Amino acid sequence: MKHLLLFTFFIVFPFFLQAQDDMKLVKDGIIMREGKVYKIDKDGTTTLVVTESDLGNGTHVSRNGDISWPGGVKTKLKEGEIILKSGGLGILQSRVKQLNGFIFKDGKMCEISPTTLRALEAERVVADSNRIKPDGRYYIGRGGKFIQIRENEVVTLAGEILMISDDNTFESYVIKRDAVVIKSVNSKMGIVDVEYLFPNGTKVNAQGLVTTKEGLSFSLHNGEKLNSKGELFLQNDGLFSNGLVKKDGLVYLLKDGKISALKDDYVQDTTRVSTKGIITYSSKPEKFVMKEGDIVSFDGKLMITNTGCADKSKKERFIIDHIAFKEGKLFIIKDAESSLLTKEITLSDGSKILKTGHIIKANGSKMQLHEGQRIALTGDELPDEKPEETTNPDKNYITMLKGRMWLVTDGKPGLLKEDYNIKGKMIVKIDGFVQKSDGSKIILKENDRLSLDGILIPVDKRQLPGQLPIEYYIMKNGKMWMVHEGKPTKLDKDVVTVEGTKIFLDGNITKKDKNKFVLKEGDKIDPRGEILSAK
């Protein structure tokens, strides 16, 4: 397999345009500098483009940098790029570099020729064994690993990737990108197939598992980088190399790239960050829950998040310690962890909650908690807890196929692009590792399937498209029937399935989430209450 080589080129942005020696290498070209389009004259000087320029070969460039290539491809001129007189594409370095191969421009893969730029219509073989596809997927060797080429990146005919960057360092590093671990040594890059060892004893394997000389292990997420010393730098070009980060379910202290496990709660002023990632502020009762990939500053302020803090996720992100009454039992939830309440408890306002679910207020009044009711440990009433929804594991699941992780939603597959948190029970990583809340780990193998409730689905329990499940219910001739392994049995009384669905003899259905509907003749439902088909 050919090694992937990647060279990083650096664009120089001098203030004066007319005194550039490198300009003299190009005659009658067009260049974008400092957001403006200039024509390079034969003597090396430049003139601001105020009308559309015709290069004479069918290529047109507008004053705003919009390019129309022969054949109909339209792209935008980027900073430092040059349209040569011949119609070819170049970039400005310490000298002009003419490009060849393929470039990802404005969301599409294009082929660069000496005279034009045209859309890539079909897969092309690069450097004998590599392949580039029109959607920008670049397959390395004959295996299934690929890197998604991004905007303005070039794949040369030699199989190299050119990255136009304003970073001015050639320092070696290892980075995880598109679930592939890549090493860069003196600007030449290759895929880490087995293991890469740093001079300080830190090593990283092909899945991105990092092990330090001291024995500390953690996983690289997409965009995270280890510098030449084996020190961790996070997203956004390492701007956040200091703080607290949650990785693999644990909290780590990160100082100047050096990472160590947080063994005790971290306290600064009025903020406390626990070893489990619970942030407590003395000024408010709410606590903040760190999720996988979160980075917070030393004073507890969120800097980077992979999961977001939108309204729909506030229930999981911002928590209050409380008591909940569920299925006739009392539970106490502290720091996002739930446990059965086995004795009466006195709240901050003087109220007492008994094991029976009764609450005695400080004024002596007494009431019974109802299903789903929640009371904060301060005594304040909270909104009722909604019943937990279940998903159809035949249409909604995570699976490993051809070495890639896929998220299937309502039967539609999509590549898993970031770590997936399953109801706080476990975190599924894009490389197939599953980190459970109890600290244990598993790895998904080829064709393994995990439901969105966190349950591994055996092959013999999977429902194929159009296939009926082992057990279902049907309305036939005005009667309700249960069909188990193909054998029908007429119901003689109302039933409640293990999944909590109530099935009445007259065809009325009440799901666990309280939704109701009536089956018509020929309708079939599974034990979850989802309609399968109708004759």
The pair of structure tokens assigned to 417 is 């692009």
Same domain flag for 375 and 491: no
Q: Which of 135, 165, 195 is the endpoint of a domain?
A: 165
For residues 110 and 144, membership in a common domain is answered with yes
Q: Indicate whether 47 belongs to any domain.
A: yes
> Which of 426, 443, 461 is where one domain is finished?
461
Q: Which residue reads 């084996």 in tokens? A: 230
- Give the list of residues 6+ apart from residue 31 with CB closer than 8 angstroms, or none: 37, 38, 40, 46, 80, 81, 82, 83, 92
Q: Which of the four pLDDT bands, split at 50, 70 and 90, describes residue 257?
A: low
304 touches 294 (CB < 8 A): yes
Question: Is the same domain home to 371 and 491?
Answer: no
> What pLDDT band is residue 491 in, cutting at 50, 70 and 90?
very high
Q: How many domains does the chain have?
A: 4
**Considering only CA atoms, which of 366, 452, 367 is closest in space to residue 408?**
452
Give how far Cα 300 sits from Cα of 132, 189, 229, 244, Å: 44, 37, 28, 8
Q: Which two tokens stand for residue 32?
A: 């974008």
* Same domain? 144 vs 102: yes
Looking at residue 504, what is its pLDDT? 93
The reply to whether 144 and 37 lie within a common domain is yes
24 within some domain = yes
Predicted confidence (pLDDT) per residue in 127-141, tens digit: 878 889 998 888 877
Task: Determine contact, residues 213/203, Cβ cutoff 8 Å.
Answer: no
pLDDT over threshold 80, residue 100: no
What local confidence, expressed as pLDDT, does residue 166 receive?
43
Share of the chain above pLDDT 70, in %: 79
For residue 374, being part of any structural domain is answered with yes
Look at residue 507 and tell me if it is in a domain: yes
Q: Let me know whether 352 and 410 are in one domain.
A: no
> Does the residue 17 lie in any domain?
yes
Percent of the chain residues topping a pLDDT of 90: 4
pLDDT number for residue 173? 80
- Three-state DSSP class for 157? coil
Distance CA 264, CA 89 (A): 56
Give, for 226, the enclosing helix (H) or strand (E): strand 225-226
User: What is the number of alpha carbons within 13 Å of residue 357 lying toward its C-beta?
Assistant: 15
Considering the domain architecture, whether residues 32 and 152 belong to the same structural domain is answered as yes
Q: pLDDT-derived band of residue 212, with 50, 70 and 90 as boundaries? A: confident
**235 within a domain of the structure (yes/no):** no
Q: Pick 377 or 113 by higher pLDDT.
A: 377
Q: Which of 385-389, 456-460, 470-474 has the lowest mean pLDDT?
A: 385-389
Q: Taking every pair of C-alpha atoms in the chain, what is the biggest distance, in angstroms? A: 97
Give pLDDT, residue 535.
43
Most confidently modeled range among 33-42, 273-282, 316-325: 273-282
Residues 46, 16, single domain; the answer is yes
Q: Are residues 350 and 375 in the same domain?
A: yes
The overall average pLDDT reported for the chain is: 77
pLDDT in tens, 49-93: 888 888 777 888 888 888 888 877 788 887 767 777 666 776 654
> Range of 402's domain?
397-461
pTM above 0.85, yes or no: no
Higher pLDDT, 511 or 388: 511
Where a domain ends, among 461, 485, 510? 461
495 and 354, same domain (yes or no): no
- Let me know: does 353 contact 359? Beta carbons within 8 Å: yes
Q: Kindly state whether residues 41 and 123 are assigned to the same domain.
A: yes
> Is 281 inside a domain boundary?
no
Q: Where residue 28 falls among pLDDT bands split at 50, 70, 90?
A: low
- CA–CA gap between residue 202 and residue 376 (Å, rounded): 46
The rounded distance, in Å, linking the Cα atoms of 70 and 443 is 50
133 domain-assigned: yes
CB 82 within 8 A of CB 31: yes
In sequence order, the 6+-apart residues with CB closer than 8 A to the CB of 239 are none
Does one domain contain both 420 and 362? no
